[in-house]
Amino acid sequence: MHPQHQQRWLISIRQLEIVKEQGIKKFHDAGKGICHQIMSEYAKPGMVIVGSDSHTCTAGAFNSFAAGIDRTEAAGL
């Protein structure tokens, strides 16, 4: 395996370990769908939703308040 690919693989493995250690239930790894597509499974009327995708506001179709925020802002949540 190319060293660069190996490093990415190790980072992905560590991320999954952190998700498991922290008991995160609604984690979607890369390749599971785009943020605003996955959000449609969870959006409910009256919710406040933020996402690091400019299409996050489409969750408003589920009668929720949704806003796209910068990735730096999202990291602070």
Domain boundaries, the chain: 3-25+34-75
Which of 14-23, 29-38, 59-68 has the lowest average pLDDT?
29-38
Residue 62, pLDDT > 80, answer yes
Residue 55 has pLDDT above 90, yes or no: no
pLDDT band at 77 (very low <50, low <70, confident <90, very high): confident
Q: Are strands 65-68 and 48-51 parallel, antiparallel or unpaired?
A: parallel
